[in-house]
Amino acid sequence: MDDFMDIFPLLIHAEINCALFLYLSAQKSRRYELASSCEWLQKTKIKLSLLLNKKLLSQILFFFL
C-alpha cells in the first residue's frame, strides 16, 4: 500500500497538468490542438494505469511469495 501512496500524488499531478493543457488548447480555439491533446491525454492515462497496475501486481506477488 505504501507504493500506491507514493505514486498517488504523481497521478493527481499528471491529471491536473493534463486538464490545464486541455483548457489552454481549447482557449486557442484550434480543433487540431484540442484533438491532439485529447489523444495525448488518453495515451498518458493508459501509461499511468499500466504503471499503477504493475506496482499493485508486484505488491500482490511479493505478499504471496
Instruction: Tell me what pLDDT residue 12 has.
Output: 61
Whether the predicted pLDDT of 59 surpasses 50: yes
Q: What is the pLDDT of residues 4-49, one digit of tens each?
A: 556 556 656 666 666 666 666 666 655 555 555 566 666 666 666 6
pTM for this model (two decimals): 0.29
Domain count, the chain: 1
Sequence-separated (6 or more) residues with CB below 8 Å from residue 25? 33, 34, 37
Q: Which three cell numbers stand for residue 59?
A: 505488491
Whether the predicted pLDDT of 3 surpasses 60: no
List % helix, strand, coil for the chain (3-state, nearest 5): 90, 0, 10
Instruction: Tell me what pLDDT residue 19 has.
Output: 64
Specify whether the CB–CB gap between 18 and 41 falls below 8 A: yes
Whole domain around residue 47: which residue ranges? 2-64
